[in-house]
Amino acid sequence: MCTLTLLHYHMHSRHRKNMIRLETQYFNLNRILLLAIGLWPYKQSNFTRLQFIFLSTILTTSLIFQCTSLISQKCTPDFVVKVLSSASFFALFVIKYNMFCVNIKAVKDLLEQLQHIYNELIDKNELAIINKYRCSARRFTAVLTIYVFCSVCALILCSCLLLSEFWSKLLDIILPMNVSRSHSLPITMEYFINQETYFYWILLHINVSYCIGATAMVGIGTTLIAYLQYTCSMFRISSHRIKRAISINTLGNIQPKKINLLLKGIISAVNIHRQAMKLSKLLVSKIEKMLFCLIIVGVVSLSLNLFRIFHIASYGDDVKEILLPFIFVTVCIIYMFVANYVGQDITDHNNDFFATVYDVQWHKAPLHVQKLILFLLQKRAKDFTVGVSGLFVGSLECFATLVKASVSYFTVIYSTQ
């Protein structure tokens, strides 16, 4: 009777879940963000390709025109730092945006693998675990989206504060002047044109570029976070299956039927655990080179913008100019923290699986099952980590190391002034 009930539940659950797509149920917020910049893997048409070319051109040219100012103007140390502090931050946008586009087919394949694993789930407790981590991923997406929206508003505010013509109109009413007041940009740019004439177009280019880059940063970042949160749920499911399998053995007398269920439960737990490890490693391996570039450029950007903040504060420059470096610093720190936190979360979930294997009453199982579990415990000798190029391992310790390195480089630059 129990077997028939389980079979009926299995068929009913499979039919129900075949109608559920992860892309709409679990990645809906991420889908909206990526559709806005033409990077949603399931919607790649000729229009989205044109959309990517157009947005990528705007984003890339904003970086190029920042660097060209080093050619057209006198390069004092302070000026070079000022240009590179913003250019390095926009370089993060360009790398991130192109990283996802180059690997968009690989990302789609990975999402399809997640869909396949989801379709195989039949237990309501396992589905509850998935839903719990879905809510966690949605919170990450919502919070980071709100923060990026605030940073965009801050950039627009900074642009308004630096609009000298805006203030000059007010001053002309109060204190008329025959001399025209010059415009200033929130970021140093060089277009090799008359910037006074095309000032508003240049300002629009800066703001649009930042909006595209910020949307790409949060859209791509939260999609990867949601993917890795899903793998964390797979680790948790493997722990659940181990507990359920061992509990079968403690319900009563050991029977051949129970032993078979015990072995099948352990095998299913090991299988989903291996799949979680495989998918985590596979994602990082696809974008490893770009992640390495992001880390290096991120450290450089953090160091330079820290220097800009202290330079403005120390030498009494225009206090309004401190707003952008402050935004860049906070974005870099938050992004580093979240990325390493997710890597640490994966390692912790893997350790929790082996802790569960150790804590269950496996010593009450038959001898050949005990040997199987002891073999499984040997796998814990080496921690499972998500790393980049063997140099950076996703962990809170790595986050502390990156921040420490950034502060050290900032100290070196500051001491040379």
**Confidence (pLDDT) at 234:** 93
Q: Is the residue at 236 inside a domain?
A: yes
Distance of CA 163 to the CA centre of its chain: 34
- In the numeric block, which tokens belong to residue 338? 């979240």
Encode pLDDT of 218-246 as tens digits: 999 999 999 999 999 999 999 888 888 77
Domain total for the chain? Answer: 1
Residue 260 in this model has a pLDDT that exceeds 90:
no
Contacts of residue 373, Cβ cutoff 8 Å, sequence gap at least 6 = 266, 357, 362, 365
**Confidence (pLDDT) at 64:** 92
Q: pTM for the full model?
A: 0.84
Higher-pLDDT residue of 36 and 313 is: 36
Q: Is the residue at 137 inside a domain?
A: yes
Q: Is the residue at 4 inside a domain?
A: no
What's 255-310 look like in SS3?
A: CHHHHHHHHHHHHHHHHHHHHHHHHHHHHHHHCHHHHHHHHHHHHHHHHHHHHHHH
**Confidence (pLDDT) at 388:** 85
Residue 250 in this model has a pLDDT that exceeds 80:
no
Higher-pLDDT residue of 169 and 34 is: 34
Q: Is the residue at 98 inside a domain?
A: yes
Q: Is the residue at 9 inside a domain?
A: no
Confidence band, pLDDT 50/70/90 cuts, at residue 299 = very high
Could you give the CA distance from residue 292 to residue 297 in angstroms, rounded to a whole number? 9
Could you give the CA distance from residue 397 to residue 402 in angstroms, rounded to a whole number? 9
Enclosing domain of residue 401: 22-415
Q: Is the residue at 312 inside a domain?
A: yes
- In the numeric block, which tokens belong to residue 153? 């508003």
User: If we measure between CA atoms, which residue out of 334, 195, 350, 213 comes closest to residue 272?
Assistant: 350
Residue 24 in this model has a pLDDT that exceeds 90:
no
Q: Is the residue at 1 inside a domain?
A: no
Q: Is the residue at 320 inside a domain?
A: yes
